[in-house]
């Protein structure tokens, strides 16, 4: 059984956390980010995880989505609304 736990955005995710893209919300000053993020694979339902953060300041973030890996600036990652996926297998007798 899978439980979906909401999370505000990708920038807030912990490294290695199993997530799923919920939606893209581009800032008013950069509306083109929405289309750009969708073009590179940030689509609702896609599996995504943060695999590393830059130092200092945790910027940029190294993101794995599907079979691709990208570096996103923190501001771009904040545009990606995600849900945490907690898998809990139900034992069957």
pLDDT one-digit tens code per residue, 31-79: 999 999 999 999 999 999 999 998 877 789 999 998 899 999 999 999 9
Domains with residue ranges and CATH for the chain: 2-87 (2.30.30.90)
Residue 32 phi/psi, 5-degree rounding, is -70, -15
Cα–Cα distance for residue pair 38/21, rounded to 1 Å:
11
pLDDT tops 90 at residue 90: no
User: Residue 40: which residues within 8 A CB-CB, separation 6 or more?
Assistant: 65, 68, 70
Nearest to 48 by CA among 28, 27, 26, 76: 76
Q: Decide: 66 and 49 in contact? Cβ < 8 Å.
A: no
- Model confidence, pTM: 0.79
16 Ramachandran zone, left/alpha/beta (phi>0; psi -120 to 50): left
């Amino acid at each position: 059984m899978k439980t979906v736990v909401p999370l505000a955005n990708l920038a807030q995710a912990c490294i290695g956390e199993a997530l799923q893209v919920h939606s893209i919300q581009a800032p008013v000053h950069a509306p083109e980010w929405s289309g750009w993020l969708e073009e590179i694979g940030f689509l609702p339902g896609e599996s995504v995880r943060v695999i590393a953060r830059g130092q200092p300041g945790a910027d940029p973030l190294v993101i794995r989505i599907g079979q691709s890996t990208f570096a996103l600036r923190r501001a771009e990652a904040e545009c990606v609304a995600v849900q945490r996926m907690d898998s809990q297998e139900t034992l069957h007798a």
